[in-house]
Amino acid sequence: MLRIPCPWCGPRDETEFCYGGQAHVPYPADPSTVDDADWAGYLFFRDNPKGWFAERWMHRAGCQRWFNVVRHTVTYEISASYPPGTSRPDVA
């Protein structure tokens, strides 16, 4: 079970959180100008890297706030945790 550092509450067990998939996939500013292929990409296609991955978590059983985590998909090591709206820290 992962130990996830919530930026507001500190490190907690994974069971307190829910997963939100890949981070930094913003809702397009004007979807009507996005072509079908790009819209399908926004809806359905996500990265699946072997290595470091920025992903969203929400502290459901705690502060109920969303945040981002940089996690290694092989070792499960977590190198960063940061609020939404901020850019991915330059670690790992």
Answer yes or no whether residue 85 interacts with other proteins by CB under 8 A. yes
Residues in the chain: 92
Q: What number of chain residues touch other proteins (CB under 8 A)?
A: 28
CB nearer other proteins, residue 1 or residue 91: 1
Q: Where are the alpha helices (DSSP H) in the chain?
A: 36-44
List the one residue from 8, 19, 39, 45 that touches other proteins (CB under 8 A): 39
Assigned token pair, 19: 């997963």
User: Looking up tokens 């960063």, which residue turns up?
Assistant: 80
Q: Return the percent helix, strand and coil in the chain, to nearest 5.
A: 15, 35, 50
Answer yes or no whether residue 43 interacts with other proteins by CB under 8 A. yes
Q: Which residues bind other proteins (CB under 8 A)?
A: 1-3, 13, 20, 26-28, 30-32, 34, 36, 39-40, 42-44, 56, 58, 60, 64-66, 75-76, 84-85
